[in-house]
C-alpha cells in the first residue's frame, strides 16, 4: 500500500474514533462516577508534575522520580478522600455550575491539609528512616502552589468541557431566552433546555419580582427584576422567548402589564404543561415540559378549588346517565365522572361521530367501567322510557341542548322541541323511575333573555324547579332532587369565539367581532364541570347555582391579543354588528334576583321566583304544541308569556314586544 494511502487511512481512522467518542460521550446522560474520580485524580497527578517541572529542572525531577512518584500517589489518595467527602464527582461535567467548582476547591483544600500534615511528618523524620527514604520532602509553599494549581486545572477543565459541549450542541436557530422565576421551576427549565439536543433555547437570564440587585446571579446568569426596563433587556440581548416557571404561572396570568411587554415585543411565551402538579409538589419534580402559551392561558381568572373526593364518594358505585355526552361539557363530565368508578354509565347524544369518539375513549381509558353509548334524541319519549326503565339511573346530568344563539333565533320551534320538551321528558322520567338527583346545565343567557336560546333554557329552569317544589310540597310522588347550574362561556367549547378566531387566523384573517364593546365571561371546561359536579352532588334540590365567572373579557381585546400572540402583522379586526338576539354583556342574575352563599365560595344560590308545577306544566304543554306547528311567531309569543322578562334584541321578534308595549 502506498505511504500516502496509509497515512490517509490512518487519519480517517483517527477522525472516526474521535467522532465515535464524541457521539458516545454526548449521547450519555452522564459519565459514571468512577470515571470522573479517575479523571480528576489523573488531572491532579499530572498537574502536580507539571507545576514541579515549571519550578525544577527536568534532570532534578528524574533523579528524584521514585520519591516524587510515591509522594504523588499519596497526594492522589488524599485527593480521592477529598473528592469523596465533598462529592466532586456527583455533578455532570458538561453541566458544571458554580457550586461544582466550589466543591472542587473544598476538596483540594482538604487534601492540602492532609498533605501538609503528612509532609510535616516526612520532613521531621530521621534522614535514614523509612519515610525519609520513600517520600519527597516538600516545602509548604511548594504544596500550596501545587494544590492551588491543580484545583485551578480541575476548574478550568470543567469549564472547558462545558463550553465545548454547549458550543457543539447549540443549534443554528437557537433562540435567546429569559426565564420568569428564580427557584426550583426556573432551574428545572434551564436543565431541560440544556439537555435538549440540539440546543434550541439559550438561557440569557432570569426574571424575579424583587427589587433589582445587579450582583444577583443564578446558574451563572443575571437575575433581572420586573421593576427594571425589561424592554431594553429584550432589545439588547435579542430575546426571542420567555419561559414561565410553573411556580410563577399564576402571577404571570394576573400581570397584564408584563404579558403585554413580551407580546408587544414579539417574544414567544412558553408555560408548563403541569402547572398544578408543580405547584403542589415543587420539590419533587425533576423535569419540566413546556408548550407555547395560548390565549386561554392568559385570561384572568382565579384558581378554582373543588373537593372532588367528596364528589367521587357520592358517585362511586352509582348508575349515572348523561345526556349530551358528546358535547363540550357533556364529554368532560363523562371523563371526570369515570375517574370515580361509577357502577354503570349511560351516555346519550344524537351526534354520531363525536359519540363514537366518546365510546372509543371509554373503551381505551376506562375498560373496567360498563358504559353504554346510545345515539338518539332526548325528545323521543318512548326511547327514553325504555332506557330509564332498563337502566334505572341514580344520577342524571342533563347537558343536551341546542345552544347556538343565531341558529335558534332562526329555528325557535326546534329550540323548544329539543331544549324544553327534551328536558321535560328527561325530568318526568327521572321522577317516575326514582332518580336521586337530576342536575341540569343552564346558561347565563337565561337571565333577562334577549334571544330564543336563552329563553328556552329559562323555561327549562322554571319547569325543573316547579317539579322539585311539587315533590317537596307533597303534590307529587317522588324522591328526585332537581338542581340547576348556571354559568357563562367555556373556553374551547364547540362554537365558542376562541376556536373561531384560531380558524380565522389560520386563514389569514380578518378576525370578526360583532361589536367593539361586547364582553363575555369565560371559564375552562374542566373547571366548569368540576363546579357542576360539586353543585349537583351537594345541592338539596330546587336551587339554581350560579358560578363566579371572574372578570369579564372584552372580545375585541381578546382578538387583538390573539393576533399579537400569533406573530401576524397584517391581520385586521372586522366589526360585523350584533347578531340576532345578542347582547353586549351577559348576566348571571337578573335585576330582581339576589344570591346567598353556598358550600363553595365560587358558587352562589340564586333567589328566584317559585312557580307552581300545574301552571308550569300547562304552559309548557301549550308551548310545545305550538312549536310542533312550526309557527315561529306564535312560538316566541308564547315564550314571552311564560318569561315576561324576555325582550328580543336585534331580532325580528322585537315586533312582539312593541305590540305588547
Amino acid 616: pLDDT: 93
Q: Measured between alpha carbons, how far is 291 from 297 in angstroms, rounded to an integer?
A: 11
pLDDT at 6 > cutoff 50: no
**392-402, pLDDT tens digit by residue?**
999 999 999 99
Tell me, what's the pLDDT at 5?
45
**Which residues are CB-contacts of 22 (< 8 A; sequence separation ≥ 6)?**
168
pLDDT score, position 160: 76
Is pLDDT at 592 greater than 70 in this prediction? no
Average pLDDT score over the chain: 79
Per-residue pLDDT tens digits for 483-527: 998 877 666 555 567 778 878 888 887 888 888 888 776 777 777
| Secondary element (H or E) of residue 242 | strand 239-244
**Residue 244, exposed/middle/buried by CB under 10 A (0-12, 13-18, 19+)?**
buried
How does pLDDT run across 433-460, given as a tens digit for each residue? 999 999 999 988 888 899 999 999 999 9
| ω into 198 cis (within 30 of 0) | yes
Q: pTM for the complete prediction?
A: 0.64
Active-site annotation holder among 162, 403, 445, 640: 445
Mean local confidence (pLDDT), 22-42? 60
Average pLDDT over residues 197-225: 78
The full DSSP string for 485-520 is EEE-EEET-TT-HHHHHHHHHHTT-PEEES-TT-EE
63-97 residue pLDDT tens: 666 777 777 777 777 777 777 776 666 655 555 56
For residue 215, what is the enclosing H or E element? none
What's the pLDDT at 28? 47
Catalytic residue flag (residue 445): yes
Average pLDDT rounded to a whole number, residues 160-189 = 76
Distance CA 271, CA 460 (A): 41
d(CA 149, CA 47): 7
Radius of gyration of the chain (CA): 36
Where do we find the cell 337565561?
Answer: 446
Share of the chain above pLDDT 90, in %: 28
Strands 170-180 and 239-244: parallel
pLDDT in tens, 290-332: 788 877 777 766 656 666 777 888 889 999 999 999 988 899 9
**pLDDT score for 400:** 94
Query: Is pLDDT larger for residue 16 or for residue 621?
Result: 621
Amino acid at each position: 500500500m502506498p505511504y500516502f494511502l496509509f497515512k490517509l487511512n490512518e487519519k480517517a481512522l483517527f477522525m472516526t474514533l474521535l467522532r465515535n467518542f464524541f457521539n458516545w460521550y454526548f449521547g450519555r446522560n452522564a459519565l459514571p462516577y468512577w470515571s470522573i474520580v479517575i479523571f480528576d485524580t489523573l488531572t491532579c497527578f499530572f498537574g502536580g508534575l507539571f507545576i514541579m517541572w515549571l519550578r525544577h529542572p527536568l534532570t532534578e525531577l528524574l533523579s528524584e522520580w521514585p520519591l516524587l512518584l510515591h509522594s504523588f500517589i499519596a497526594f492522589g489518595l488524599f485527593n480521592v478522600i477529598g473528592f469523596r467527602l465533598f462529592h466532586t464527582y456527583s455533578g455532570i461535567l458538561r453541566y458544571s455550575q458554580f457550586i461544582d467548582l466550589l466543591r472542587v476547591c473544598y476538596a483540594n483544600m482538604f487534601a492540602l491539609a492532609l498533605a501538609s500534615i503528612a509532609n510535616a511528618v516526612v520532613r521531621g523524620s530521621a534522614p535514614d528512616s523509612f519515610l525519609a527514604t520513600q517520600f519527597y520532602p516538600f516545602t509548604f509553599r511548594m504544596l500550596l502552589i501545587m494544590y492551588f494549581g491543580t484545583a485551578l486545572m480541575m476548574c478550568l477543565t470543567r469549564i472547558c468541557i462545558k463550553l465545548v459541549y454547549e458550543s457543539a450542541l447549540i443549534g443554528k436557530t437557537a433562540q435567546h431566552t429569559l426565564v420568569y422565576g428564580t427557584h426550583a421551576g426556573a432551574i428545572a427549565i434551564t436543565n431541560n433546555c440544556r439537555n435538549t439536543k440540539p440546543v434550541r433555547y439559550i438561557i440569557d437570564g432570569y426574571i424575579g419580582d424583587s427589587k433589582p440587585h445587579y450582583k444577583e446571579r443564578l446558574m451563572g446568569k443575571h437575575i433581572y427584576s420586573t421593576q427594571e426596563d425589561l424592554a431594553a433587556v429584550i432589545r439588547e440581548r435579542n430575546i426571542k422567548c420567555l419561559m414561565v416557571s410553573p411556580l410563577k404561572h399564576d402571577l404571570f396570568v394576573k400581570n397584564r402589564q408584563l404579558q403585554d411587554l413580551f407580546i408587544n415585543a414579539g417574544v414567544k411565551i412558553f408555560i408548563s404543561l403541569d402547572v398544578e402538579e408543580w405547584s403542589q409538589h415543587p420539590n419533587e419534580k425533576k423535569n419540566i415540559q413546556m408548550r407555547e402559551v395560548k390565549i386561554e392561558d392568559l385570561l384572568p381568572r382565579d384558581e378554582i378549588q373543588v373537593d372532588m373526593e367528596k364528589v367521587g364518594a357520592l358517585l362511586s358505585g352509582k348508575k349515572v346517565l348523561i345526556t349530551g355526552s358528546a358535547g363540550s361539557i357533556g364529554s368532560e363530565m363523562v371523563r371526570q365522572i369515570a375517574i370515580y368508578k361509577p357502577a354503570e354509565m349511560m351516555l346519550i347524544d344524537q351526534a354520531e361521530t363525536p359519540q363514537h369518539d366518546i365510546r372509543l375513549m371509554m373503551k381505551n381509558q376506562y375498560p373496567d367501567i360498563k358504559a353504554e353509548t346510545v345515539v338518539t334524541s332526548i325528545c323521543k319519549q318512548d326511547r327514553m322510557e325504555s332506557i330509564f326503565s332498563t337502566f334505572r339511573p341514580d344520577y342524571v346530568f342533563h347537558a343536551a341542548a341546542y345552544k347556538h344563539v343565531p341558529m335558534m333565533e332562526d329555528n325557535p320551534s326546534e329550540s323548544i322541541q329539543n331544549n324544553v320538551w327534551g328536558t321535560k321528558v328527561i325530568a318526568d322520567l327521572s321522577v317516575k323511575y326514582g332518580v336521586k338527583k337530576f342536575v341540569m346545565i343552564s346558561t347565563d343567557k337565561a337571565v333577562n333573555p334577549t334571544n330564543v336560546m336563552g329563553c328556552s333554557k329559562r323555561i327549562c329552569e322554571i319547569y325543573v324547579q316547579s317539579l322539585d317544589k311539587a315533590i317537596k310540597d307533597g303534590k307529587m310522588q317522588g324522591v328526585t332532587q332537581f338542581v340547576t347550574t348556571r354559568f357563562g362561556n367555556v373556553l374551547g367549547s364547540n362554537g365558542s369565539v376562541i376556536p373561531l378566531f384560531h380558524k380565522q387566523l389560520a386563514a389569514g384573517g380578518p378576525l370578526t367581532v360583532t361589536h367593539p364593546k361586547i364582553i363575555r365571561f369565560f371559564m375552562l371546561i374542566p373547571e366548569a364541570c368540576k363546579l357542576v359536579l360539586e353543585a349537583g352532588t351537594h345541592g338539596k334540590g330546587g336551587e339554581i347555582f350560579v358560578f363566579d365567572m371572574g372578570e369579564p373579557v372584552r372580545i375585541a381585546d381578546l382578538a387583538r391579543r390573539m393576533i399579537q400572540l400569533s406573530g401576524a402583522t397584517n391581520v385586521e379586526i372586522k366589526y360585523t354588528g350584533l347578531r340576532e338576539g345578542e347582547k353586549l354583556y351577559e348576566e348571571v342574575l337578573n335585576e330582581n334576583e339576589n344570591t346567598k352563599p353556598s358550600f363553595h365560595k365560587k358558587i352562589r344560590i340564586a333567589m328566584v321566583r317559585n312557580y307552581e308545577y300545574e301552571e308550569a306544566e300547562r304552559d309548557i304543554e301549550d308551548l310545545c304544541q305550538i312549536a310542533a306547528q312550526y309557527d315561529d311567531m306564535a312560538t316566541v309569543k308564547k315564550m314571552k308569556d311564560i318569561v315576561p322578562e324576555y325582550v328580543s334584541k336585534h331580532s325580528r321578534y322585537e315586533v312582539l314586544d312593541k305590540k305588547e308595549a
